[in-house]
Amino acid sequence: MLEKPMTPDLPETDDDLLIRMRSGDERAFVALYRRRQAAIYRFALHMSGSATVAEDVTRKYFSP
């Protein structure tokens, strides 16, 4: 019996996810969005000065 060599499952980089997104992969978009949601919220809060606006911009459409 042949066994597959054990290789660790490395998390995809943002670049990997962007490449998949360009191909129309919605799961890649969701993964990247979840990974960067907090940073997007902070940016929106900084730019707008409003927590309400920042929450609207980063609404958790994909929350579990």
Q: pLDDT digit string (tens) for 24-42? A: 999 999 999 999 999 999 9
CA torsion 62-64-36-23 (nearest 10°) is -50
* Residue 2: predicted pLDDT: 60
Domains of the chain: which residue ranges? 14-57
As a whole number of Å, the CA-based R_g of the chain is 17
pLDDT band at 5; cut points 50, 70, 90: low
pLDDT band at 64; cut points 50, 70, 90: very low
Q: What's the pTM?
A: 0.65
Contact (CB, 8 A) for 32 and 20: no
Q: Which residues contact 21 (CB under 8 A, 6 or more apart)?
A: 28, 29, 32
Residue 62 clears pLDDT 90, i.e. is over it: no
